Amino acid sequence: MQEIPTLHETPRVGYEDASLSFDASSEPVLTVNQGEHFWLDARSLLTGGLFEETGEYEKLSIPVTGPVAIRGVNPGDALRVDVHEILIARRGAMVTLPGRGGFTDGLGRAGHVVEIVDGQVVFDDHTRIPVRPMVGKVGVAPVGVGPNSSTVGIHGGNMDCKDVTAGAAVVIPVQVTEAMLYAGDLHAAQGDGECSLTAVEVEGSVRLSCTVVPSGANPNVGIRRPVVLSGDSVITIGDGDTLDEAARLALDDMLELLQTDRKWSREKTAMLLSAAADVSVSQLVNARVSAKVTLASRYFTAEPFTLDSSDTMNAQVSDV
């Protein structure tokens, strides 16, 4: 395994500091400066050994780690969270549950443990899936009662956007002082929709840094929902009780971003999106679903929320 010196030199929060909600009232487990790198360890279905002892998978949950307080961040700011590196364990797990999933006739209760070898998920003796590590849950604490860690919303949360990989960034509207950031729910691989209920759920660690997007440099910082920057694309995330609602919100946000940048009419902007943007599903299996609109950053005269993000590494598979 390649030695990662930053693993030991930067602040690190273990997965024992886990939470089942994005709670503003919790004491910070770490306080960092803007731009400072830190590690968060993440639990998975396999943490603690209960998965392999019981078939009662509905009793298992995947919490988030945190909160991390970010100095100098205030309500109304737009917080950019850069994902610099993801390390994942060499075993993952998946489940299905009655009444859950995106299939018409439903699914039974089943669990499946997989090994991860040479950048591949060994799904069975004859089937391999390329590893593409991602962060399923990234969010800040909202005002009031903290939503469940499996909930998506304006705070971010359980977006399950497979584009949140190493080298990506998530921009989230801040609601409370110092943001109170949480993250977790690492996946070795996930398809759009996470249609059976889970992706390849893995323990691991993620290295992050956070910076407020300067309001004077960008008129688009008044965002209402999370925006993902990944692979030369800008991705807006919508959430709702239905995919229809979620997609409309993601479309509205992209329309506003692009119209503000290009100074076009709503109609001309909508036509560009119809020709060049992709509307797709992030997650359709939880109580609130999430949809995304992806547009290549070249369609903007200036990519929204761009900041220098140095020391970004490709995702690696490692024992953690």
Q: Give me the residues of the chain with pLDDT under 50, please.
A: 1-7, 309-310, 312-317
Q: Can you name the residues that pair with 239 across neighbouring β-strands?
A: 290
Query: 114 Cβ partners below 8 Å, 6+ apart?
Result: 91, 92, 93, 94, 121, 122, 123, 200
pLDDT at 315: 45
**b (16+ CB within 10 A) / e for 189-201:** bbebbbbbbbbbb
Q: Can you name the residues that pair with 64 across neighbouring β-strands?
A: 19, 184
The model carries a pTM of 0.92
Handedness of CA 309, 64, 62, 11 (dihedral sign): positive
Share above pLDDT 70 across residues of the chain, in percent, rounded to a whole number: 91
Rounded to whole angstroms, how far apart are CA atoms 152 and 133? 20
Q: Is residue 62 within 8 Å of 44, Cβ to Cβ? A: yes
Domains of the chain, CATH where assigned: 6-216+306-317 (2.60.120.580), 227-299 (3.10.28.20)
Q: Are strands 181-187 and 30-32 parallel, antiparallel or unpaired?
A: unpaired
Q: Cis (ω within 30 of 0) for the bond into 98?
A: no
Q: 253 phi and psi, to 5 degrees?
A: -65, -40
pLDDT at 9: 80
pLDDT at 122: 98
What is each CA distance from 274 to 55, 271, 294, 297, in whole angstroms? 45, 5, 11, 15
Q: Are strands 64-70 and 78-96 parallel, antiparallel or unpaired?
A: unpaired
Read off the tokens for 35.
């731009």
Rounded to whole angstroms, how far apart are CA atoms 306 and 93? 35
pLDDT at 5: 40
CA-wise closest residue to 184 among 134, 229, 224 = 134
pLDDT at 146: 85
Read off the tokens for 88.
């994942």
Q: 3 phi and psi, to 5 degrees?
A: -70, 130
Q: Are strands 64-70 and 30-32 parallel, antiparallel or unpaired?
A: parallel
pLDDT tens, position by position, 218-265: 665 678 999 999 989 999 999 999 999 999 999 999 999 999 999 999
